[in-house]
Copies of this chain bind each other. A is one copy, B any other.
Amino acid sequence: MTDRDVLISEVGPRDGLQSISAIMPTAAKKAWISAAAAAGVAEIEVGSFVPAHILPQLADTAEIVAHARTIPGLNVAVLVPNFKGAQAAVAAGAHKITIPLSVSETHSLRNVRRSHAQMLDEVRQISTLIQSLPVGQRPHLEGSLSTAFGCTLEGVVPEKRVLELAVALMEAGCDEVGLSDTTGYANPAQVRRLTRAVWSAVGRDQLTGIHLHNTRGQGLANVVAALDVGLTTLDASLGGLGGCPFAPGASGNIVTEDLVFMLEAMGLRTGIDLEALFATRELLAAALPGEPLYGLTPLAGLPKGFVPATPQKKNDA
Interface hit among A66-74, A78-86, A183-191: A183-191
Is A225 an interface position by the 8 A CB rule?
Answer: yes
* Cα-based distance from A216 to B259 in the complex (angstroms): 10
Complex partner residue of A305 from B150, B216, B218, CB under 8 angstroms: B150
Complex partner residue of A216 from B155, B183, B300, CB under 8 angstroms: B300
Within the complex, the shortest CB–CB distance from A161 to chain B, in Å, comes to 14
Tell me whether A249 and B301 are in contact (CB under 8 A): yes
Q: Mark A288-317, 1 if CB is under 8 A from B, else 0.
A: 000000011100110111000000000000
Tell me whether B262 and A221 are in contact (CB under 8 A): yes
Question: What is the interface of chain A mostly: helix, strand, loop, or mixed?
Answer: loop
Within the complex, the shortest CB–CB distance from A193 to chain B, in Å, comes to 10
Is A59 an interface position by the 8 A CB rule?
Answer: no
Complex partner residue of A189 from B217, B249, B267, CB under 8 angstroms: B267
Tell me whether B187 and A304 are in contact (CB under 8 A): no
Q: Mark A136-158, 1 if CB is under 8 A from B, else 0.
A: 00000000000000111111100
Within the complex, the shortest CB–CB distance from A5 to chain B, in Å, comes to 12
Complex partner residue of A224 from B152, B183, B184, B225, CB under 8 angstroms: B225
Integer count of this chain's copies in the complex? 2
Tell me whether A215 and B296 are in contact (CB under 8 A): yes
Tell me whether A217 and B296 are in contact (CB under 8 A): yes
* Cα-based distance from A214 to B223 in the complex (angstroms): 16
* Cα-based distance from A156 to B307 in the complex (angstroms): 10
Given A214-B296, A218-B262, A297-B216, verify A224-B188 contact (CB < 8 Å).
yes
Tell me whether A217 and B249 are in contact (CB under 8 A): no
Is A261 an interface position by the 8 A CB rule?
Answer: yes
Within the complex, the shortest CB–CB distance from A223 to chain B, in Å, comes to 7
Tell me whether B150 and A304 are in contact (CB under 8 A): yes
Tell me whether A300 and B188 are in contact (CB under 8 A): no
* Cα-based distance from A217 to B187 in the complex (angstroms): 16
Is A42 an interface position by the 8 A CB rule?
Answer: no
Tell me whether B187 and A262 are in contact (CB under 8 A): yes
Is A162 an interface position by the 8 A CB rule?
Answer: no
* Cα-based distance from A120 to B266 in the complex (angstroms): 32
Is A105 an interface position by the 8 A CB rule?
Answer: no
Is A220 an interface position by the 8 A CB rule?
Answer: yes
* Cα-based distance from A221 to B228 in the complex (angstroms): 12
Q: Which of A203-233 contact B (CB under 8 A)?
A: 214-218, 220-221, 223-225, 228
The 5 closest A-B pairs by CB, nearest first: A155-B305, A187-B265, A217-B258, A155-B304, A220-B221
A-B contact pairs, 24 of them (CB 8 A): A150-B303, A151-B304, A152-B303, A152-B304, A155-B304, A155-B305, A187-B266, A188-B224, A188-B262, A189-B266, A189-B267, A190-B266, A214-B296, A216-B258, A216-B296, A216-B297, A216-B303, A217-B296, A217-B297, A218-B262, A218-B265, A220-B221, A221-B221, A221-B223
Chain A interface (Cβ < 8 Å from any Cβ of B) = 150-156, 183-185, 187-190, 214-218, 220-221, 223-225, 228, 249-251, 255, 258, 261-262, 265-267, 295-297, 300-301, 303-305
